[in-house]
Amino acid sequence: MIDDSNEMADAPPMRTRPHYIPLSDAREGMTLGATATVVKSGILRLSLPAGHILNEDSLHQLKAHQAEFIFILEPDRRSDQQVALDASQAAGRLLQIFSGADLTEPNIAGLFDQILAYRSA
């Protein structure tokens, strides 16, 4: 008899991509792609770490603390070629948006890099 119990452990991890959604679209079993924090009047009210799998309790807490949007990870079923094409198109659009900006200025360059990372995912 063959033991297949470790077969999944040897499989490469599934590629995911972040998706920003309203809390009303969140469902149990979704995985947070970034830390979800709720701050009211400068006081941290709730923090759930990136990688947290949403469950009934965490969804209730997010709603009770009036969270509005969260980042989740969803399976990325695009081919490698499509991922590369999408990243290239996102970079081109972003370069157009920032065409008049001074990308040698550290704050502007940092903003550009963050937006590019998000749009290329």
Residues 5 and 49: beta-carbon distance below 8 Å: no
Q: Tens digits of per-residue pLDDT, 61-91?
A: 999 999 999 999 999 999 999 989 998 999 9
Residues 103 and 78: beta-carbon distance below 8 Å: no
Report the pLDDT value the prediction gives residue 11, as an integer from 0 to 100.
57
For the full predicted model, state whether its pTM sits above 0.85: no
| Rounded CA separation 89/119 (Å) | 9
Q: What residue ranges of the chain have pLDDT lower than 50?
A: 1-5
Nearest to 72 by CA among 111, 118, 37, 35: 35
Report the pLDDT value the prediction gives residue 117, as an integer from 0 to 100.
83
Nearest to 14 by CA among 73, 81, 83, 98: 73
